[in-house]
Amino acid sequence: MEVQERFLRYVALDTTSDESCPDCPSSARQWELARLLRDEMLQLGLSDVRLDEHCYVYGCIPANAEGAPSIGLIAHMDTVDAVPGAPIHPRLLHYEGGDVVLNAEKDIVMKAADFPSLDRHAGKDLIVTDGETLLGADDKAGVAEIMTLCEYVLAHPEMKHGKICVGFTPDEEIGRGADLFDVKGFGADFAYTVDGGAADEIEYENFNAASARLLVHGFSIHPGSAKNKMRNAIRLGLEFNAMLPAHEIPECTEGYEGFYHLNFIRGEEQEAELRYIVRDHDRAKFERKKQRMEKIADYLNEKYGENTFELTLRDSYYNMKEKVQERPEVIDRALNALRACGLSPACVPIRGGTDGARLSFMGLVCPNLGTGGYNGHGIFEYACVQEMQSMVEVLKKIVEAV
């Protein structure tokens, strides 16, 4: 089965994760893809295939070359809930440049001026949506590429390789993909997540990340008699937010620059809640960002009364570079594979995180590879067929015994 055919089969399934649910998986709909992958792995002939009680799928191809390392390949099955995840109506088109009309009836257009990545795809085939949902290339493109690689290896026993360990995770998009990953049972010496963008990119630097939850306890009274009595929790929450650096937000940062991102707010006069994600590549700057939030909360509690502001900070993951740089041969293997496939590798910092970041701190060094998917987490998401095909070739070179 060609990689694009597999991809279209997978994106037809809604696998949106749900941050509000504490269970794993966070949404029952992820089970459908997990079962499909388990059954496909069994049909292809992978060994030790298992789907565990938490919706993690594992399997392997035994080594046929003595002394070769055991290499893991990992992708996640869930999709983000930022935009609708179904019903997805993918469309294959041959792109010759310019704007892409996704939905003429609703005037939804992916403009080349807004998405410069399109420039590199003139003359290539793209899979797009109808502009009403995401596509799911993040990360079903990675899933499809790994499965296509497995089919090739099993159909070509003359290809020499070490043990190939395959894992598919739930709930990566809500930061829980590595929570219950069986690192020991997985059995890899090192691994790669296949969960990036351009096919020529490799990523092994990511943000240090934390979540912040601010509860503001106010006092409600009729506004007509509120003088010197009311403490409007909404306004107090906005005061906290205004004391954060105005330009350290996603809209004003790029590259290695960190940020505070207010991604949820609700409230009334009596109580308000604000949620943030805090990010920085530099660990010291990351710690200072958290300390700043704590100092602001302390200051405002002195101003308005003890326990008015209740701040909870929770670290999510750290910069995998700290661990990956201890295994430079893992990066070299990927760089050599990219070059062998005619690509010019680009090492880029991730302005986010992947399962690989947390797995690297769980003892499984795990940098991230591209997939050929672009504009993830939105209605303008698309995948380049030729780049997906290139990634299958790159994976062949990575797992091949050398």
* AA letter at 357: A
Same domain, 245 and 361: no
Same domain, 245 and 111: no
Cα–Cα distances (Å) from 257 to 319, 352, 367, 376, in that order, read: 13, 12, 20, 20
Question: How far is Cα 167 from Cα 377, in angstroms, rounded to an integer?
Answer: 22
**Does the annotation count 200 as an active-site position?**
no
User: Tens digit of pLDDT for each residue in 247-257?
Assistant: 999 999 999 99
Same domain, 189 and 267: no
User: Tens digit of pLDDT for each residue in 118-160?
Assistant: 999 999 999 999 999 999 999 999 999 999 999 999 999 999 9
**Does the annotation count 78 as an active-site position?**
yes
Catalytic residue among 18, 40, 78, 355: 78
| Predicted local confidence at residue 315, as pLDDT | 92
Yes or no: say if 57 and 181 are a contact pair by the CB < 8 Å rule: no
Same domain, 198 and 162: yes
| Predicted local confidence at residue 158, as pLDDT | 97
User: Tens digit of pLDDT for each residue in 294-312?
Assistant: 999 999 999 999 999 999 9
Same domain, 394 and 285: no
SS3 state at 380:
coil
Please give the structure tokens belonging to residue 10.
């997978």
Locus of tokens 């006069």: 269
Q: What are phi and psi of 58, to 5 degrees?
A: -130, 155
Q: What secondary structure does DSSP assign to 110-136, as a single string? A: E-TTT-GGGGGGTTEEEEE--SSS---
Question: How far is Cα 212 from Cα 291, in angstroms, rounded to an integer?
Answer: 12
Report the CATH number that the domain containing residue 63 is assigned in CATH.
3.40.630.10
Cα–Cα distances (Å) from 341 to 201, 335, 344, 387, 390, in that order, read: 13, 10, 9, 11, 7
Question: How far is Cα 148 from Cα 166, in angstroms, rounded to an integer?
Answer: 12
Angle between the N-to-C axes of helices 385-399 and 3-11, in degrees from 0 to 180, rounded to the nearest 10: 110
Same domain, 30 and 134: yes
Task: Give the distance from CA 269 to its chain's centroid.
Answer: 36
Cα angle 237-243-249, degrees, rounded to a multiple of 5: 95
Please give the structure tokens belonging to residue 21.
């649910």
Yes or no: say if 253 and 245 are a contact pair by the CB < 8 Å rule: no
Query: 145 burial class (0-12, 13-18, 19+ CB within 10 angstroms)?
Result: buried
Catalytic residue among 172, 173, 248, 387: 172
User: Tens digit of pLDDT for each residue in 70-105?
Assistant: 999 999 999 999 899 999 999 999 999 999 999 999
Which residues, including other chains, have CB under 8 Å from residue 390's CB and lie 6 or more apart? Answer: 199, 341, 343, 372
State which residues form the domain around 288.
208-317
- Name the domain boundary from 317, 351, 380: 317
| Residue of 19 and 87 predicted with greater confidence | 87
**What does the CA dihedral 6, 12, 14, 17 come to, rounded to 10 degrees?**
30
Same domain, 328 and 179: yes
Report the CATH number that the domain containing residue 302 is assigned in CATH.
3.30.70.360
Q: How confident is the model at residue 375 (pLDDT cuts 50, 70, 90)?
A: very high
- Name the domain boundary from 255, 288, 317: 317
Same domain, 13 and 135: yes
SS3 state at 54:
coil
Cα–Cα distances (Å) from 130 to 100, 133, 380, 382, in that order, read: 11, 7, 9, 11
- Name the domain boundary from 265, 285, 317: 317
Q: What is the domain count for the chain?
A: 2
Same domain, 100 and 148: yes
Same domain, 304 and 342: no
* AA letter at 372: G
Same domain, 165 and 264: no
Yes or no: say if 55 and 167 are a contact pair by the CB < 8 Å rule: no
Neighbours of 239 (CB within 10 A): 16
Please give the structure tokens belonging to residue 347.
């090492």
Q: How confident is the model at residue 353 (pLDDT cuts 50, 70, 90)?
A: confident
> What is the enclosing helix (H) or strand (E) of 336?
helix 328-340
Same domain, 27 and 137: yes
**What does the CA dihedral 164, 167, 172, 177 come to, rounded to 10 degrees?**
-110
Neighbours of 231 (CB within 10 A): 18
Q: How confident is the model at residue 43 (pLDDT cuts 50, 70, 90)?
A: very high
